[in-house]
Amino acid sequence: MTQTTRIALLQHACSEDVSANIAKAHGMIRDAAKQGAQVVFTPELYTSQYFCQTEDPAKFDLAVTIPGKLTDSICELAKACQINLVASLFEKRAPGLYHNTSVCIDDTGTMLNRYRKMHIPDDPGFYEKFYFTPGDPRKSCPRKSEASEVHGSSEDLSNAGYQTTQLGDLNVGTLICWDQWYPEAARLTAMLGAQILQYPTAIGYWKGEPAQEGARQRDAWITMQRSHAIANGCFVAAINRIGTEGDITFWGSSFVADPGGQIIAQASEDQEEIIIVDIDLSLMETTRRMWPFFRDRRIDTFGDLQQRWLK
Amino acid sequence: MTQTTRIALLQHACSEDVSANIAKAHGMIRDAAKQGAQVVFTPELYTSQYFCQTEDPAKFDLAVTIPGKLTDSICELAKACQINLVASLFEKRAPGLYHNTSVCIDDTGTMLNRYRKMHIPDDPGFYEKFYFTPGDPRKSCPRKSEASEVHGSSEDLSNAGYQTTQLGDLNVGTLICWDQWYPEAARLTAMLGAQILQYPTAIGYWKGEPAQEGARQRDAWITMQRSHAIANGCFVAAINRIGTEGDITFWGSSFVADPGGQIIAQASEDQEEIIIVDIDLSLMETTRRMWPFFRDRRIDTFGDLQQRWLK
């Protein structure tokens, strides 16, 4: 018996005008709702250009408090459209303390949860360690009782570690961009019950690299995320921006992979698109019965994964 | 500066005649040595047909003690050809205690190490849990001093856990088949310093499944192992058999992926082949400098990987 849920991925460009970016993305969210999507995902840091190409203290002005005016307006939008969403934002947590954060908002306009990016890159053109403090570690192994405590007061929103959030019929595992290269992050989120791992992303061709290397990187980016779907028997959604900003041409190519690792929908490299996909959650059980990887994990041998290196 | 090492993968069929299988594979090893290979890898359980399609107590007679007559003959071959090799064998450890084991033998004919398959499958047509006890967990975090203790008396060969072995110029991480679906196993082996993760394998199309599903499985098998190369910035070699045995048609397709995840050599689905590949170990440093995933692992958040599930 199929259990179909309609999701939407927003792939768009970002200009220097934050208000215009928000207006465009929110218009796309309204469109996705009209097309029957139950849950919608934005690209990473969708309200602005990718400011991490330089280390500029003035760019911290782009950050917002959560909750705050911007999340209030997103909650209003979610309620008005009756749509669930995950929005990727630049969060000001305290003076001098900033995060790359996803917020989960349900179709009543309630902010249920937030996830703070755990793995922060720092490479030429992607100077994220200057801007983003990594997400806090979770204090202990979560239990079912905690899940229900996430809802409620703003204090409850400060929960740490890897996160899943029930949005409509879908249990969404929130991870962000550089997290996508870490099988550990995918596994831990899947073990929390995620039915889809979603990765808002800002990745593209850097002008300093040869075209062949860019093609390899794009292929590796797709392969790595497909592998998370396979290893964990769940859906994966990658949501990337398009357009050229400074030295980077973002490669779009947003996609959804099913629990067998097959790509069931993929956007172009250079067009703004709302990718609407009907995903059948019953495939998770089917796939995991056939290839029951969770059955056989040698958890008695995984302690050294907490080491940096073993030599 | 390139650091090129020539490796060879043996892709062959197996008949019901164990002596004939050994003679054929060992002939291929001689050929690989003549072609200048420094290290050669066999497919999984290369001396026999894949006997795990049924649960038959008589099949335990196929197992060998290690060291024993078979490994003595392989050591002689390695010395005579001056070639390093990893051979995948069915090991009798004690009465009623059997393993799926790889042995590492150097070009002086010395057996340096063994690895016992950690993750054991059990699916229709692949009843391995009946035959193979999973490999022992390592007792504690290994240190450099241990590595040199591996050589020597037969007691030293009983080392447990994930393994790497220096074979000529190449530090080889030994994993086996079902291990390939576990990013944890790949990571732990890479953290021991492996330059190549090698997976002897017996996988194919099962006649009970539709052709489309078989194609998906083969694609997932390739994708998953390429992802280990990407996540760990190292080479990966998958060595599979060919031919139809009972209900399974093994899909060959043995391949080598580079540290960027690109396939640099791949065999056919149905031909016996010696795949000779020159791998440039300097690519590991180049790749890891560009995408320094080991730099950013959030080891403070990975403790729960030792849990079965988090709900």
Give residues with Cβ within 8 angstroms of A122, minimum separation 6. Answer: A128, A129, A130
Q: Tell whether B294 lies on the interface with A, counting CB pairs under 8 A.
A: yes
Q: If 0-12 CB within 10 Å is exposed, 13-18 middle and 19+ buried, where does residue B228 land?
A: buried
> A4-306 has which CATH code?
3.60.110.10
Say if the Cβ atoms of B184 and A302 lie within 8 Å.
yes
Per-residue pLDDT of B146-158, as tens digits, reads: 444 444 444 444 5
Partners of A134 on chain B (C-beta within 8 Å) are: 298
What secondary structure letter does DSSP report for B60? G
Those residues of chain B that have pLDDT short of 70 are: 140-159
**H/E element, A30:** helix A18-34
pLDDT reported for residue A2: 84
pLDDT score, position A155: 42
Which of B222, B302, B308 to mutate to test binding with chain A, by most A CBs within 10 Å of its CB?
A: B302
- CA atoms of A290 and B210, how far apart (whole Å): 13
What is the enclosing helix (H) or strand (E) of A86?
A: strand A84-94
**Among the partner residues A137, A184, A293, nearest to B305 by beta-carbon distance:** A184
- pLDDT (tens digit per residue) in A179-231: 999 999 999 999 999 999 999 999 999 998 898 999 999 999 999 999 999 99
Q: Which residues of B touch A299 (CB under 8 A)?
A: 305-308
Interface check B219 vs A, CB under 8 A: yes
Determine, for residues A220 and B231 on separate chains, whether the beta-carbon distance falls below 8 Å. no
Distance set, CA B272 to CA A190, B24, B84, B126, B268 (Å): 39, 10, 21, 23, 8
CB B86 within 8 A of CB B174: yes
Rounded CA-CA distance B174/A182 in Å is 21
pTM of structure: 0.95
**Domains of chain B, residue spans:** 4-306
Q: Profile chain A (311 residues) by mean pLDDT over runs of 10 residues.
A: 94 98 98 98 98 97 98 98 98 98 98 97 95 88 46 51 97 98 98 98 93 94 98 98 97 98 98 98 96 97 98 91
- ipTM summary value: 0.94
Q: How many CB atoms lie within 10 A of CB A168?
A: 17
Asked if the C-beta of B251 comes within 8 angstroms of chain A's C-beta atoms, the answer is no
pLDDT of residue A144: 46
